[in-house]
Amino acid sequence: MNHKNLIYLLVLTLILTLSPVANAEVSVRPLSLRLEVAPGNSGSSTLTIHNRGEKSSRVQLRVADWWRTPDGNLQILPPGSREKSAADWIVFSPNDFRIEADQRVEVNVEVSVPEGANDDHWSMLLVTEEPLNSEDSSGMQVSVGYAVKILVENPNAVDEGAEITNIKLANTNPFKLNITYTNTGNNYLKTKGSVEIRNLQGETVRSFDIEEFPTLPGEEHRISVQRNEEGEQLDPGQYYAIAIMDFGGDHLIQGGLPIEIPEGEEKADK
């Protein structure tokens, strides 16, 4: 990472994590936009910014890229740094304005998709609030930030695909299974699934639901499936764990792993 990008990330981290949104007088809705726009066309939406406080504030908007780590943590990146960045396609107005107490301001967001852009793309708008003539108890100016995710979906994109790239027994007592899932297509996906534990006779002795989760093209997502404290633990013996995922395509994907539950309290490597 070059020096410029490092400074950019440090500044955004200070804006978005050291200034809790709980302190904000200005609210932003919605916090995500999904626009379905074919290549060569444009689409638009709006953000509503509301000053719920009793004092005037200055609001600024800027574009950035974003990514999600396999553990689900948000990364905010310089605009244009991701391969599928939509930063250059996004125009928004107003981008720097004063908002009075109880005032609402509509921000128009327009996305123009160039010809040949066949995959889904994404970026975000960073919204910062600086109360005018207001300081916190330390004498520092308070700045509060919001991140509005923008997903630009190509209605003609058909390369939906996903894989279970890893499945591992992390613990036997209590039972815990770690699964790595990867979006291998060019579409934004919402996926849900289940895990079945079968004995050597093929009977399902335990099952676990996997709640729906989103993934971007190329994104890797880690899932942990485990028995809760009230659940009955597996008897010692040999089993087969099968993870089944439904990503909305014309087929399901699955991955399996033979497992052995030993006598006593033994645990597998984490």
With 90 as the cut, is the pLDDT of residue 229 above it? Answer: no
What was the pLDDT predicted at 1? 47
Residue 244 has pLDDT above 60, yes or no: yes
Domain limit, last residue, from 110, 130, 153: 153
Q: Which H, E and C letters describe the chain, residue by residue?
A: CCHHHHHHHHHHHHHHHCCCHHHCCEEEECCEEEEECCCCCEEEEEEEEEECCCCCEEEEEEEEEEEECCCCCEEEECCCCCCCECHHHEEEECCEEEECCCCEEEEEEEEECCCCCCCCEEEEEEEEEEECCCECCCCCECCEEEEEEEEEECCCCCCCCEEEEEEEEEEECCEEEEEEEEECCCCCEEEEEEEEEEECCCCEEEEEEEEEEEECCCCEEEEEEECCCCCCCCCCEEEEEEEEEECCCCCCEEEEEEEEECCCCCCCCC
**For 6-20, what is the mean pLDDT?**
43
Is residue 269 in some structural domain?
no
- Residue that is written with structure tokens 């699955």 in the block: 254
Among 24-28, 66-70, 183-187, 236-240, the range scoring the smallest mean pLDDT is 24-28
**Predicted pLDDT at 144:** 62
pLDDT mean across residues, the chain? 86
Is residue 183, in this structure, part of any structural domain at all? Answer: yes
> Tens digits of per-residue pLDDT, 99-155?
999 999 999 999 999 999 989 999 999 999 987 765 544 444 446 689 999 999 999
Q: 153, 188, 222: which is the final residue of a domain?
A: 153
Q: 224 is in which domain, residue-wise?
A: 162-261
Residue 256 and residue 216 in one domain: yes
Residue that is last in its domain, among 153, 186, 218: 153
171 and 140 in one domain? no
Residue 146 sits in the same domain as residue 167: no
pLDDT band at 5 (very low <50, low <70, confident <90, very high): very low
Residue 202 and residue 136 in one domain: no
Tokens of 158: 């058909």
User: Do both 146 and 226 map to the same domain?
Assistant: no
Say whether both 208 and 131 belong to one domain.
no
Residues 197, 70, single domain; the answer is no
pLDDT band at 3 (very low <50, low <70, confident <90, very high): very low
Give the number of other Cβ atoms within 10 Å of residue 33's Cβ: 21
Answer whether residue 6 shows pLDDT above 80.
no
Number of domains in the chain: 2
Task: Judge if 88 and 110 occupy the same domain.
Answer: yes
d(CA 243, CA 3): 43
Phi, psi of 114, rounded to the nearest 5 degrees: -75, 160
Mean pLDDT of 255-262: 92
59-92 per-position pLDDT tens digit: 999 999 999 999 999 999 999 999 999 999 999 9
> Over 50: is that where the pLDDT of 8 sits?
no
176 and 138 belong to one structural domain: no
Q: Reply yes or no on whether the pLDDT at 215 is more than 80.
A: yes
Residues of the chain above pLDDT 70, percent: 82
The answer as to whether 199 is a domain residue is: yes
In a domain, 95, yes or no: yes
More confident residue, 4 or 124: 124
Mean pLDDT comparison of 16-20, 159-163, 180-184, highest-scoring range: 180-184
pLDDT at position 263 is 80
